[in-house]
Amino acid sequence: MIEAHSLYKAFGPKVAVSDVSFCARDGQITGLLGANGAGKTTTLRMLYTLLKPDRGSIRVDGMDSTQQALAVRRQLGVLPDARGLYKRLSARENIAYFAQLHGLNTATIRDRTEQLAKALEMGDIIDRRVEGFSQGERVKTAIARALVHDPRNVVLDEPSNGLDVMSTRSLREFLRRLKTEGRCVLFSTHIMQEVAALCDRIVIIASGRVVADGTPENLQELAQERSLEEAFVKIIGAAALDSLS
């Protein structure tokens, strides 16, 4: 479970996140929806302890992210916005490297890698060097690397970025599987269909603040619109007007 309370983060005069609170529960997929530059990546970076919030607090499975940063990182599987792999290492070695940094032993690493390779359908690429991988293969490797330590909480920053239709479908399948395993899945996106297809709960961020939070049905009711996209546009539009006045 991931809880964020009144997060605030500024880079110099630029306020990236001004007021973000939400709760992502276990066994649910939570979508962080927002336009480009709304503050999604900054919020996630604070969640996985890369950035310290200027104000507010984050609790992951009850642990404070600033005081117990290492423990929090152990509970999180993170697919960051920047998902660079080591191109001179094979997919397996990339995964094993992070697994060792998590302190797993060799046997566990082997088992987990086999499981993930099977779940992500990467059997034929697992022992190839990452150099020359397609975008989809790279995302698969990065996801496997992020989940090798079997984390309770999974945070993904725009996971479907740059993926084709088929890869996106299998990614969604995989996220649903994580959900049924009882994990807390939190991902950010700016793509409407994605949240509509996947999420149990949607948190909409505009200009660094949460403007709506609820189930897809809630949000449609809230905006009194039939489609989620219309609801999103209406909610974002209202927020923009608010910030003007």
Partner 1 sequence: MSAALTIFIKECRESLRDKRVLLNALVLGPLLGPLLFVVILRVTVGRELNQADRPLPVIVIGAQRAPNLMQVLKQQGLVPLPPVADVEAAVRQQRIDLALRISDTYSDDWNAGRPAQVDIIYDSSRRDGGGRLQRLRGMLASYSRRTSAMRLVARGISPVIGTAVLIGDRDQATAAARGALLFAMLPYFLILTSFMGGMWLAIDATAGERERQSLEPLLANPVPRSQILLGKLLAAAAFSFTSLTLGLMAFAVAAHFLPAQQLEISLTLGPKLIGTILPIMVPLY
Question: HSE of 184 in the Cβ direction (CA atoms, 13 Å)?
Answer: 15
Q: Which is nearer to partner 1, 38 or 96 (CB)?
A: 96
Of 32 and 142, which CB lies nearer to partner 1 in the complex structure? 142
| Distance of closest approach, residue 103 Cβ to partner 1, in angstroms | 8
CB of 154 to partner 1, least distance (A): 12
Q: Which one, 98 or 174, has the nearer CB to partner 1? A: 98
Q: Which lies closer to partner 1 via its Cβ, residue 47 or residue 203?
A: 47
3-state SS string for the chain: CEEEEEEEEEECCEEEEEEEEEEECCCEEEEEEECCCCCHHHHHHHHCCCCCCCEEEEEECCEECCCCHHHHHHHEEEECCCCCCCCCCEHHHHHHHHHHHCCCCHHHHHHHHHHHHHHCCCCCCCCCECCCCCHHHHHHHHHHHHHCCCCCEEEEECCCCCCCHHHHHHHHHHHHHHHHCCCEEEEEECCHHHHHHHCCEEEEEECCEEEEEECHHHHHHHHCCCCHHHHHHHHHHHHHHHHHC
Q: How far is the CB of 90 from partner 1 (least distance, A)?
A: 10
Q: Give the shortest CB-40-to-partner 1 separation in angstroms.
A: 15
CB contact at 8 A, 194 and 175: no
| Positions that interact with partner 1 (CB under 8 A) | 45, 48-50, 70-71, 73-74, 76, 78-89, 93, 97-98, 100-103, 142, 145-146
Q: What is the dihedral of CA 174, 178, 184, 189, to 10 degrees?
A: 0
**Choice between 48 and 187, CB closer to partner 1:** 48
Of the two residues 76 and 210, which places its CB atom closer to partner 1 in the complex? 76
Closer CB to partner 1, residue 106 or residue 227? 106
Shortest distance in whole angstroms from residue 78 CB to partner 1: 4
Instruction: Quote the least distance from Cβ 178 to partner 1, whole Å.
Output: 17
CB of 229 to partner 1, least distance (A): 31
